Each structure stands twice: as C-alpha cells, then as structure tokens.
Amino acid sequence: MTRDTYRNVLLVGGAGDLGKHILSGLLEDSSFNVTVLSRVNSNSVFPSDVKVLKVDYSNKNSILESLTGQDVVISAVGGEGLSENIDMILVECALQADVKWFIPSQFVSDISHPFYSSLPFTTSKIKTMELLKENESKMAYTFITTGTFLDWGLENGFLGFDIRNRTVTLYDHGENFFSATTLSSVVKAVVAILHHPQLAQNKRIYIADATMTQNEILQLFEKYTNTKWTIKHMSTDDSFKQGAENYANGDKRKGIHQYLMSVIYNGKGASRFDDKLSNEVLGLPSIQPEEIIKEAVQRCKSLQ
C-alpha cells in the first residue's frame, strides 16, 4: 500500500502524557489528516486547527460513526481508559468501520513477555492484542514496545529518582539493565512507522534510547547535581508482593506502580530488549543517555 492509503489518522487519548506529544508530531507532518477522539465530558483543550470528535465510550454506535472513513487509529489512552477496556471497544468498532490499521496503547515494556502478561492489570491489553492478531487479515496492527518513558519517569520520580531531594530507591541494588525511551523518540517512531507500513504492520516493534542500570543513572545524576545522593534499597520481590497486596486491597494506582517497578528492574527480560531494536531501520536519531540526565537536572532547577 502507498503512503496516501494512510492519510486519515484518528488519535485517541490525545491529551495524555504521551498522546499530546504524538498529536504534535502528527500535526507537524502535512502527510496526515488528523482527528482526535475525546470523551464527551472531557475538558481537554486541543489546538484550534484539530478536528475533535466527542463520543460517549459506552455508545458503540457513536464510536463507529467517528471511526468511519479513518485509515489508521492510534490509541494513547492511559490507565483509566485501559481499565474501561476502551482499546478493546475501539478495535471492535474499527473492524466494523473498515479501518485499515490499528496501533493500540502498548507503549510500555514487552507485554508479550510471560512475567508482564501475568499481572492482573494487563488483562485488557492482552485481550486487545489477541483480538488484533485474530483479525490481521482484515485490519493490520502494530504493537510498539518502548519500555518506560525515560525523561518523563526520571523527572517526575516515577522511576525512583527524586532529583529535588537527591534521593533514590535502588531496586535489586540497581544492578539490572532496562531499556527505556524518551517521549520525543516515541513520537518519531510513530510517525516513521506510519510512513513505512511495510516495516511494521502485523509486527511488534521495539524501540529504546538507552539500556542501562539504575547505578549508571545515579552516577550521572551525582555528576550533574554535584551531590552525593541518599540511597534507599528495595528488592523487586518485595515491590511485587507489596504491589499485589495494594492492588488486591483496592489501591490499584499504588499497586500498579509497585508491580511496574518489579517489571522494569527485576532483570527478567520484560524490560530489556536492546537486541531487538528497530531504531536504525526507522531512522531514529541516537540520543546519549548522559544528555537525558543532564536535561532532567536542568529542568528540575528551572522549576525551583
């Protein structure tokens, strides 16, 4: 198929941490006619030149109407949307609407890895993945595995580094390697994939800007803050157990974070995939991890 076959692109979750960046990347490329799908009761504000369709996700007819005429659907929905099985609903409607290509919200560690796929909050992602594979002859799919968002996760403390207070929680002594990607590289990968469908359709694509350990990151943070950091320790086994307990007791947000710390840092393979990367074939520019750390420190200083 030619590039023109995929001109009409619908983005779901375009106001989220990742979605807003994907939206900007799509708008900067004149190849695409971009539409954003948003909740009917959402207060999110989008650029004035973007077509926004508001839907009630409990009304499949409304979704089906919105998807009609779209060539590609990209989902960047976050935790709330996934817990409501929005991706699954979107795939079902996309099949009915004759959408040609679906990219689900799998911008995480490798959801196909047995350790990750066994976690209770991945059920929706797994079912969506299975449905897409079952219907690949009707509608193409691409799964994009990115690992954690490195710049985002370092700056907001998600990955255990507290830049402002110069403290870090090292999991399993900070020795295990993990792969991660900056938000800007995720966007570049999405756009590149849309331009080169032959490289990505009906496949899982892996991208990462860095594969490193917490200890390596800590050394760079201490270099650019000129400070010896306070270190706390936790095992990924304990993090997993605490995650299971909190998730079962209803504190799902905390439980999922603890589960994810185990996924990212336990060294079992779900978060390390530097031997499978498509960065080069997609033409993604290389980024030095040291620059990512340096910029994170600078942005933290600017906010103080």
Query: pLDDT for 176-209, tens place per residue?
Result: 999 999 999 999 999 999 999 999 999 999 999 9
Average pLDDT, the chain: 94
Distance of alpha carbon 133 from alpha carbon 118, whole angstroms? 19
How high is the pLDDT of residue 302? Answer: 75
- pTM higher than 0.85: yes
Q: For 109-132, what is the mean pLDDT? A: 95
Query: pLDDT for 48-96, tens place per residue?
Result: 889 999 999 989 999 999 999 999 999 999 876 456 789 999 999 999 9
104 Cβ contact list (under 8 Å, min separation 6): 75, 87, 91, 125, 128, 129, 132, 141, 143
Distance of alpha carbon 147 from alpha carbon 1, whole angstroms? 30
| CATH classification code of 149-179+210-272+283-303 | 3.90.25.10
Enter the tokens of residue 111.
């959801």
How high is the pLDDT of residue 49? Answer: 86
Domain spans of the chain, in order of start: 3-147+182-206, 149-179+210-272+283-303
Please provide residue 209's backbone torsions phi and psi, each rounded to the nearest 5 degrees: -90, -25
Q: For 279-298, what is the mean pLDDT? A: 95
Q: For 150-157, what is the mean pLDDT? A: 96
Q: For 17-21, what is the mean pLDDT? A: 96
How high is the pLDDT of residue 3? Answer: 45
Q: Are the beta carbons of 43 and 108 closer than 8 angstroms?
A: no
Q: For 284-298, what is the mean pLDDT? A: 94
Helix (H, G, I), strand (E, B) or coil at 84: coil
User: Would the pLDDT of 2 be above 70?
Assistant: no
Q: For 101-127, what is the mean pLDDT? A: 95
The domain defined by 3-147+182-206 folds into Rossmann fold (3.40.50)
